Amino acid sequence: RKPDTFDFLGFTHYCSKGRNGKFRVKRKTSRKKFNAKVKAFKVWIKSVRNQHILDIWSAVRLKLVGHYRYYGITDNFSMLKNFLLVVQKLLYKWLNRRSQRRSFTYEMFDKFLTFNPLPRPKIYVNIYG
């Protein structure tokens, strides 16, 4: 039978097979740490939503790059992508609550993201290569 999974240093280590079909230990962001990071980001964006949008955007970029640097390990790309999607949803939600009327529509937010892109997820540590 498969060994149990375990959490260590913010990662869930689990058993799986690699592309060649051989046994391999894989890692992904721990659900507990992922939810804690999302909650912390939510609290932060709520507190700074009234600052200038470009200042918020530069801080968000730094936060995302820091997250990618720590959690950007082999086999964890899907969790990095999920974190980016959650951050984009939170940004849309809280930037629209800056005044009584909406600041963005979905189309305007997509256009803003086109001209001011957020960093894309990247694997920084390849532990098998």
H or E, element range at 54: helix 53-71
pTM of the model: 0.90
Q: Can you tell me the distance from the alpha carbon of 94 to that of 49, in angstroms, rounded to the nearest whole number?
A: 6
Over residues 47-92, the pLDDT tens digits come to 999 899 999 999 999 999 999 999 999 999 999 999 999 999 999 9
Give residue 43's pLDDT band: very low, low, confident or very high (50, 70, 90).
very high
Residue 98 has which token pair? 């800056």
Give residue 100's pLDDT band: very low, low, confident or very high (50, 70, 90).
confident
Q: Burial level of 74, CB count in 10 A (0-12/13-18/19+)?
A: middle
Q: What angle do CA 66, 67, 71 make, to 5 degrees?
A: 120
Q: Can you tell me the distance from the alpha carbon of 109 to that of 93, in angstroms, rounded to the nearest whole number?
A: 11
Q: What pLDDT does residue 78 have?
A: 95
